[in-house]
A = this chain, B = another copy of it.
Amino acid sequence: MASMANIRDVARQAGVSIATVSAALNRSGTVSEKTLRRILDAVDAVGYAPNGIARSLRMGRSQLFGLIVSEITNPFFGTLTRAIEKAAHDAGYAVIICNSDEDEARELELLELLRVQRVAGVILSPSGQGTAYREKLTREIGAPLITIDRRIEGLDRDFIGLDNRAAGRMITEYVLRLGHRRIAFIGGRAGLSTSDERYQGFCEALHDIGLQPDPAICLRADFRGEAAYMVAQPLLSGRNRPTAIVAANNVMALGALQAIGDLGFRCPQDISLAAIDDFPWSTALRPRLTAIAQPIEEMGRIAVDYLLDRVGEIETVPAARSQIFAPTLIARDSCVALEQ
């Protein structure tokens, strides 16, 4: 591959200095109409595209954002990635995608990779927890970092996410209103805000009407559908079976749904099912899934906005902002009133 034309080639072709070429192409400085045209012609003639690497080096920062999610194939993160990629491109940034695979150590490695690449900013959906982890996140990565979806308690960074407690409460209150009293909860990984807070909301809704959550049917499946499938089977086979299940995310709801079907039960006739986190084709399911929705695209856009704000300012360090979205209940067919 012949090495690509550079600004010097353009300058030579147009018969001007490289400074003039730079000024012309960036519309900085004053360049006469005539030479501008000559330069533009020269660009075409030699097939020039500016070298972003050299520019980044000179300017001190790249035109790249880093995005770390725990699992791209989860529709939530897929949709989020799409929104972030779009907003970033609109602002002239490209996005490096990283999959942490729910692994704290891997996530920290990825952060180091992004640091080496000198990304202009990082959007992180964190997978770790604990003080040591938080310290490492606080350690200067050399670029603004904001968090999304999962909140790290005590981390002083911008955050965009769902009001998870309200979401847990909202879906549970809905199920309770339908008359259910024995409600199972399939939770995510302990220690993550999306898991703990959703469970907290679940408990609060029960408490409000004088009920206690039964630990025997409050389970964990690490946000993975397969785990939910495994965990749902004994839940359904055991005696004193719940009349409804609340799953703490979309893929766990799918796992539970599959377990329900595989064991020969029918949803919602035999058991109701609700999820926190809707997903694109939940209306294609039979029954159509009752779920809590969140404004994922908007979250992605705002994350990029927040980041752009921080990339712009060099010295001032404004306080961490956060935007917490209210959940929306979408009642469909997978939850029905309990026949008395």
Q: How far is the CA of A11 from the CA of B49 in the complex (A)?
A: 35
A209 interface residue, CB < 8 Å from B? no
Q: What is the chain B residue whose CB lies nearest that of A112? A: B49
In the complex, which residues of chain B have a beta carbon less than 8 angstroms from the beta carbon of A54?
57
A75 interface residue, CB < 8 Å from B? yes
Does the CB pair B116–A50 fall under 8 Å?
A: yes
Does the CB pair B73–A280 fall under 8 Å?
A: yes
Cross-chain contact of A284 among B62, B97, B98, B254 (Cβ < 8 A)? B254
In the complex, which residues of chain B have a beta carbon less than 8 angstroms from the beta carbon of A51?
57, 116, 118
A13 interface residue, CB < 8 Å from B? no
Does the CB pair B257–A143 fall under 8 Å?
A: no
A191 interface residue, CB < 8 Å from B? no
Chain A count of residues within 8 A CB distance of the other chain: 62
A198 CB to nearest B CB, Å: 21
Does the CB pair A81–B86 fall under 8 Å?
A: no
A113 CB to nearest B CB, Å: 6
Query: Knowing A53-B56, A97-B95, A281-B258 touch, does A78 contact B72 (C-beta < 8 A)?
Result: yes
- What are the interface flags for A91-133 relative to B under an 8 Å C-beta threshold, 1 for contact and 0 otherwise? 0001111110000000000101111111000000000000000
Does the CB pair B73–A82 fall under 8 Å?
A: yes
In the complex, which residues of chain B have a beta carbon less than 8 angstroms from the beta carbon of A1?
140, 142-144, 314
Does the CB pair A72–B81 fall under 8 Å?
A: yes
A3 interface residue, CB < 8 Å from B? yes
In the complex, which residues of chain B have a beta carbon less than 8 angstroms from the beta carbon of A35?
none
A154 interface residue, CB < 8 Å from B? no
A40 CB to nearest B CB, Å: 16
Query: Knowing A140-B1, A257-B284 touch, does A53 contact B99 (C-beta < 8 A)?
Result: no
A251 interface residue, CB < 8 Å from B? yes
- What are the interface flags for A278-320 relative to B under an 8 Å C-beta threshold, 1 for contact and 0 otherwise? 0011011110000000000000000000000000001000000
A317 CB to nearest B CB, Å: 8
A315 CB to nearest B CB, Å: 8
Q: What is the chain B residue whose CB lies nearest that of A266? A: B286
Query: Knowing A52-B118, A255-B284 touch, does A85 contact B99 (C-beta < 8 A)?
Result: yes
In the complex, which residues of chain B have a beta carbon less than 8 angstroms from the beta carbon of A64?
96, 117
A47 interface residue, CB < 8 Å from B? yes
A234 interface residue, CB < 8 Å from B? no
A321 interface residue, CB < 8 Å from B? no
A20 interface residue, CB < 8 Å from B? no
Q: How far is the CA of A140 from the CA of B47 in the complex (A)?
A: 9
- What are the interface flags for A4-45 relative to B under an 8 Å C-beta threshold, 1 for contact and 0 otherwise? 100000000000000000000000000000000000000000
Given contacts A1-B142, A89-B98, A94-B117, 16 further A-B contacts (CB under 8 A): A49-B112, A49-B115, A49-B142, A51-B118, A53-B53, A54-B57, A71-B82, A72-B78, A86-B99, A89-B110, A94-B114, A97-B97, A225-B281, A225-B284, A261-B284, A286-B286
Top 6 nearest A-B pairs (CB, nearest first) are A258-B284, A97-B97, A254-B284, A52-B116, A254-B281, A73-B78
A-B contact pairs, 12 of them (CB 8 A): A3-B60, A49-B112, A49-B116, A54-B57, A64-B117, A71-B82, A72-B78, A72-B81, A73-B79, A75-B75, A75-B78, A96-B96
